[in-house]
C-alpha cells in the first residue's frame, strides 16, 4: 500500500513539473527582417502565418521578383506562392509605371498606371481562382523599401495591406517582410 501511495505522489509531482507548451506568437514564425538578398518572404494573413513553399528559405518557383524598365515605366513585381497544383495561394505586390527607391514608403492603391497595389489570390483551375486586392480609399496599405541595391539586384522591405474581393469580403495582410534578389 505504501508503494502505491508513493508511486501516485511521484506521478503527480512529475506531471505537474512538466512544462506546458506555450503558444507561439505567429510573428516569431516569420522570417527575420534582413537586407542581404536571403530570398525570404513572409506575412500574416488574418493572423495566420504565410511563408511561400512552407519554409523560411525559398527555392524554386515559390518566390519571384522582377524590377525592370519597360515601355517607358518601371515595373516591380514581387510574389510568394504557397502550395502546388490546384491548391495554391499567393501574396503579391505590383507596380505599374512607378519607380521605387530606398527609404520610400508607398501607399498601396488600386491597380492603375502610376500606382502600386497588393493582392492575395488563389491559383488553380478557373473554378477555384479568387482574388483580394487593395482598393482605395478603404482597402489600402503600405510598402516600405528598406534596401534597393541595383548592383547586386537586392530589394528588401516591409508591407501590410487590407484587400477586398468581388463579394466585399475583407482580408488583412500584416507584418509582411521580404529580402529578395530580383531579375531585370
Q: Per-residue pLDDT tens for 16-46?
A: 445 556 558 999 999 999 999 999 999 999 9
Q: Determine if the pTM surpasses 0.85.
A: no
H-assigned helices in the chain: 2-17
When pLDDT is averaged across residues 62-69 and rounded to a whole number, the result is 94
Exposed (0-12), middle (13-18) or buried (19+): which is 152, by Cβ within 10 Å?
exposed
- Separation of alpha carbons 11 and 59, rounded Å: 47
pLDDT recorded at residue 44: 97
**104 pLDDT above the threshold of 90:** no
C-alpha cell at 121: 489570390
When pLDDT is averaged across residues 66-90 and rounded to a whole number, the result is 89
- Separation of alpha carbons 121 and 153, rounded Å: 26
Coil, helix or strand for 129?
coil
5 phi and psi angles, rounded to 5 deg: -65, -40
Say how many C-beta atoms besides its own lie within 10 A of residue 78's C-beta.
Answer: 24
Amino acid at each position: 500500500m505504501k508503494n502505491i501511495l508513493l508511486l501516485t505522489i511521484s506521478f503527480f509531482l512529475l506531471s505537474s513539473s512538466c512544462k506546458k507548451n506555450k503558444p507561439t506568437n505567429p510573428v516569431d514564425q516569420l522570417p527575420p527582417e534582413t537586407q542581404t538578398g536571403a530570398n525570404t518572404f513572409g506575412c500574416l494573413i488574418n493572423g495566420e502565418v504565410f511563408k511561400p513553399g512552407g519554409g523560411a528559405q525559398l527555392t524554386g518557383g515559390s518566390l519571384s521578383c522582377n524590377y525592370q524598365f519597360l515601355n517607358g515605366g518601371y515595373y516591380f513585381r514581387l510574389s510568394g506562392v504557397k502550395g502546388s497544383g490546384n491548391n495554391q495561394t499567393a501574396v503579391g505586390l505590383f507596380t505599374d509605371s512607378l519607380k521605387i527607391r530606398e527609404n520610400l514608403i508607398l501607399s498601396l492603391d488600386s491597380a492603375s498606371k502610376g500606382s502600386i497595389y497588393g493582392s492575395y489570390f488563389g491559383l488553380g483551375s478557373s473554378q477555384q481562382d479568387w482574388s483580394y486586392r487593395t482598393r482605395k480609399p478603404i482597402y489600402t496599405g503600405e510598402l516600405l523599401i528598406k534596401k534597393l541595391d541595383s548592383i547586386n539586384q537586392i530589394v528588401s522591405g516591409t508591407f501590410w495591406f487590407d484587400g477586398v474581393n468581388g463579394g466585399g469580403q475583407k482580408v488583412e495582410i500584416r507584418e509582411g517582410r521580404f529580402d529578395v534578389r530580383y531579375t531585370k
